[in-house]
């Protein structure tokens, strides 16, 4: 089969290539999926660069999520049940940028037929993270502010729509002024641009001198640090990405005097801690919110696997509009 492969860590446009590799076969409790589409997410590119929390043995194929059809099941009842079904391909170890992927049968979740392939391809990583952070970890209340950076990201836009749906207000930080009106049109309650002065001052002008109770940051560096400074006493900042690749600078005095907290969030770790009923409830929430067009992804462009280098370049572009997807089969 054809697969995107990298043999060393490095810039995705330099190290990714398409190769013929052996077709994988499913073992006990596993299924093989004929892949249809898979998104190019920031986490996939971090893996290729060798800068993700968990790294594969090389050579490796990236791709943590996607959609496909189960075409073979290893021994086990769950595999037989999903055989022939269109499923979300949740692949903790990567490997979805290929014509076929093998995953545990429990991670092949049948997708309702009214959810189109391009949305099903991005069914899990961002939607589950948005719901987990807002509803289950921070438990943002109706009428309360949630401060977020990189608000123009696919995930940030989902959070804005979830705020509208659930009744919390979003205060959104972007790095480009052009994004301000776009996010307001989407339903953002307030949008500030990092260029327009210290973020923490801009935040307090909007929410009042105390600051916010809840904030989420995938950027780090100066932006993440400013989000921490925007917290009210007993406020919490969730750090869930490292887009700037710069460390946070946390003032001890603010942590100590106001009991402000910083905590990490990683979906892989979060899911491992969920009970089976809780995970099923989370999938139910995603489906419901996708049907209401709250947790949908804007789709930018779909590339064939052979154009993997172009797809990786596009996914890394500043001011890119919409998710980049890889088409792996029809």
Ligand X SMILES: NC(=O)c1ccc[n+]([C@@H]2O[C@H](COP(=O)([O-])OP(=O)(O)OC[C@H]3O[C@@H](n4cnc5c(N)ncnc54)[C@H](OP(=O)(O)O)[C@@H]3O)[C@@H](O)[C@H]2O)c1
Contact positions vs ligand X (CB under 6 A): 41-43, 125-126, 129, 150, 152-155, 175-176, 218-219, 223, 240-241, 243-244, 265-267, 318-320
Alpha-carbon distance of 96 to 44, in angstroms, equals 10
Least gap, CB of 62 to ligand X (angstroms) = 13
Least gap, CB of 175 to ligand X (angstroms) = 4
User: 3-class DSSP state for residue 54?
Assistant: coil
The nearer residue to ligand X, 165 or 320, going by C-beta atoms, is 320
How many angstroms separate the Cα of 119 from the Cα of each of 27, 105, 112, 172, 235? 29, 21, 11, 24, 34
Alpha-carbon distance of 295 to 133, in angstroms, equals 14
How many angstroms separate the Cα of 193 from the Cα of each of 22, 101, 104, 186, 295? 49, 41, 43, 16, 24
Least gap, CB of 30 to ligand X (angstroms) = 24
The nearer residue to ligand X, 25 or 321, going by C-beta atoms, is 321
The nearer residue to ligand X, 24 or 152, going by C-beta atoms, is 152
Chain residue whose CB lies nearest ligand X? 241
Least gap, CB of 123 to ligand X (angstroms) = 12
Alpha-carbon distance of 252 to 326, in angstroms, equals 44
The nearer residue to ligand X, 85 or 320, going by C-beta atoms, is 320
The nearer residue to ligand X, 73 or 219, going by C-beta atoms, is 219
The nearer residue to ligand X, 9 or 240, going by C-beta atoms, is 240
Indicate the DSSP class of residue 133. Answer: I
Least gap, CB of 239 to ligand X (angstroms) = 8
Alpha-carbon distance of 327 to 156, in angstroms, equals 25
Encoded tokens for 78: 């769950």
The nearer residue to ligand X, 30 or 154, going by C-beta atoms, is 154
Least gap, CB of 148 to ligand X (angstroms) = 10
Alpha-carbon distance of 27 to 6, in angstroms, equals 25
Least gap, CB of 240 to ligand X (angstroms) = 4
Q: Where are the alpha helices (DSSP H) in the chain?
A: 12-15, 42-49, 77-82, 117-121, 125-131, 154-166, 178-186, 199-207, 221-229, 252-258, 267-273, 276-291, 308-315
């Amino acid at each position: 089969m054809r697969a995107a492969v990298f043999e060393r860590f490095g810039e995705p446009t330099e190290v990714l290539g398409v190769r013929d590799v052996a077709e994988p076969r499913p073992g006990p409790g596993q299924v093989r999926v004929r892949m249809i589409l898979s998104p190019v997410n920031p986490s996939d590119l971090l893996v290729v660069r060798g800068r993700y929390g968990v790294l594969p043995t090389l050579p490796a194929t990236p791709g943590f999520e996607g959609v496909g059809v189960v075409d073979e099941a290893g021994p086990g009842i769950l595999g037989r049940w999903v055989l022939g079904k269109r499923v979300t391909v949740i692949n903790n170890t990567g490997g979805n940028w290929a014509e076929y992927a093998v995953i545990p049968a429990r991670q092949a979740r049948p997708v309702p037929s009214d959810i189109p392939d391009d949305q099903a391809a991005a069914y899990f990583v961002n939607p589950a993270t948005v719901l987990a952070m807002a509803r289950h970890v921070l438990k943002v209340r109706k009428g309360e502010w949630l401060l977020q950076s990189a608000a123009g990201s696919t995930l940030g836009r989902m959070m804005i729509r979830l705020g509208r749906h659930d009744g919390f207000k979003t205060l959104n930080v972007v790095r480009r002024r052009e994004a301000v009106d776009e996010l307001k049109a989407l339903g953002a309650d307030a949008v500030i641009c990092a260029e327009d002065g210290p973020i923490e001052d801009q935040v307090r002008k909007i929410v009042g001198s105390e600051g916010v109770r809840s904030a989420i940051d995938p950027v780090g560096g100066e932006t993440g640090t400013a989000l921490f400074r925007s917290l009210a006493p007993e406020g919490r900042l969730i750090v869930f990405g490292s887009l700037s690749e710069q460390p946070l600078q946390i003032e001890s005095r603010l942590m100590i005097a106001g009991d402000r907290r910083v905590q990490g969030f990683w979906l892989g770790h979060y899911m491992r801690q969920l009970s089976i009923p809780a995970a099923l409830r989370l999938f139910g929430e995603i489906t419901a919110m996708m049907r209401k067009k709250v947790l949908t992804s804007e789709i930018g462009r779909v590339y064939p696997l052979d154009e993997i280098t172009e797809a990786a370049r596009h996914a890394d572009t500043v001011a890119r509009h919409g998710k980049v997807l890889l088409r792996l089969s029809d």
